[in-house]
Structure 1
Amino acid sequence: MINKDLELGFKKILDGNREWMEFVKNDTSGRFQQLAKGQNPQILWIGCADSRVPANELTGNKPGEVFVHRNIANMCVHSDMNMLSVLDYAVNVLKVKHIIVAGHYGCGGVAAALSRRQFGIIDNWLCHIKDVYRIHAKEIDAIADMEKKADRLVELNVKEQVFNLCTTSIVQNAWKERDDLAVHGMVINIATGELIDTGNTFTNNSDLGEVFAYK
């Protein structure tokens, strides 16, 4: 026998799809017929998997305008083939012009990384965030308030992930051929909806440091 709550939850999903289908059917702009033929997004969004931070809504974009990759705490790990595959396709096939690495205040992954608790297999992923803490431990430890401490680590994590992304061979090889690719770090304030520019945008590898910048 199916759990009643599960049955109602699934019905809500199907009902929602019917409403969406009706919206698509009644749309007279022709954009959905165009989308069926292919996509041409200008943005790659690398964000947190948190359900409160949808890329399209936050940036005021329509379906087909943002290519999205999401994981716990918006990490750009050099050995993550999932992220690298999305990045390669976005940069070299779709030819996106903007890559946004977006963290958000109140991130559960960042808060978990600051704790000494074990959560399961995710602990291995959280080690990447703990590494960011290790680099900036002096600054973060000087903050007494735990919420502000976590928020600062969110900001610093975004900056580190932007750097990680820029040091990939995918981005650096694209910069050798193009001058129209930018990588941006941003933080979302969920309470206000604001997308905050962290001020670390890269358009080439000149500021990455000698050992990180490929010739």
Structure 2
Amino acid sequence: MSLYESVFQNNREWVAQQLQEDPECFNEMAKGQAPEFLYIGCSDSRVQPEDFMGVKPGQVFVHRNIANLIPNNDLSAASVIQYAVEHLGVKHIIVCGHYGCGGIKAAMANKSLGTLNMWIRNIDDVYRLHRSEIESQPDDDAKFRRLVELNVEEQCLNIMKFEFIQRARQNGEYPRIHGWVYDIATGNVVDRKVDLNKYQEELELYRLD
């Protein structure tokens, strides 16, 4: 049996196991979703948020792309975030990068990658904004890891610039925005405690009246 064919066998076994544990689990799930988290992460196949977060189906709404980017012209990401905030009522928005990210590495390599370069350019902007800090790191690996962390921070800032995010936060304390980094080599995830208050002056440019 090929790996592709085994997926369907695995699915049947998984369904049977779920029903054995809770005969009503799929009926309940079909009624709707009310996730507390919106997780925005990288598409890397080694990074599976449901596993390292220990969450169940229905608890986390997920959006993934190369290098966990939230460009201001990306209608897909913007639509996911707005839907999660205004229709699902998520309390926490998590931007999660990871060490060893291929998208970050590609941006640092500065090579021609065809169409992919249009997407990677967003990471180039992060590098440009923080060039002196990144270049001050002791070696290439440290530079790589620091760009991963700074990219997470910048994407959190991009989320804060959305009008619907500002409107929601004016009406209450949610959604809260968090920046995480997952370490594939250890399996550990760290909350970077991103302090968006230090960007207060920049955010004033996007503030609603």
Above 0.5 in TM-score?
yes
Q: Secondary structure at the match of 1:70?
A: strand
Give the 5 Å matches for 1:26-175: 26-28=20-22, 30-175=24-169
Q: How many residues align?
A: 208
Instruction: Give aligned-pair identity as a percent.
Output: 41
TM-score (norm 1): 0.90
Measure how far apart 1:31 and its partner are.
Answer: 3.3
Partner Cα distance (1:11, 1:31) in 2: 25
Q: In structure 2, do the counterparts of structure 1 residues 55 and 9 end up closer, same or farther at CA, with 3 Å as the change threshold? A: same
Partner Cα distance (1:206, 1:113) in 2: 28
CA-to-aligned-CA distance 1:62-96 (integer Å, 9 cap, x gap): 11100000000000111111011111110000000
CA-to-aligned-CA distance 1:11-61 (integer Å, 9 cap, x gap): 122122122121222122733321111111000000000111111112111
Q: Who is 1:3 aligned against? A: none
Are 1:44 and 1:90, in contact at CA under 8 Å, matched by a contact in 2? Answer: yes
What is the root-mean-square deviation of aligned Cα atoms in Å?
A: 1.9
Measure how far apart 1:115 and its partner are.
Answer: 0.8
Measure how far apart 1:212 and its partner are.
Answer: 2.7
Are 1:42 and 1:66, in contact at CA under 8 Å, matched by a contact in 2? Answer: yes
Unaligned runs of 5+ in 1: 1-6
Are 1:72 and 1:109, in contact at CA under 8 Å, matched by a contact in 2? Answer: yes
Partner Cα distance (2:145, 2:185) in 1: 13
Are 1:182 and 1:201, in contact at CA under 8 Å, matched by a contact in 2? Answer: no
Partner Cα distance (1:117, 1:202) in 2: 32
Measure how far apart 1:206 and its partner are.
Answer: 5.7
Unaligned runs of 5+ in 2: none
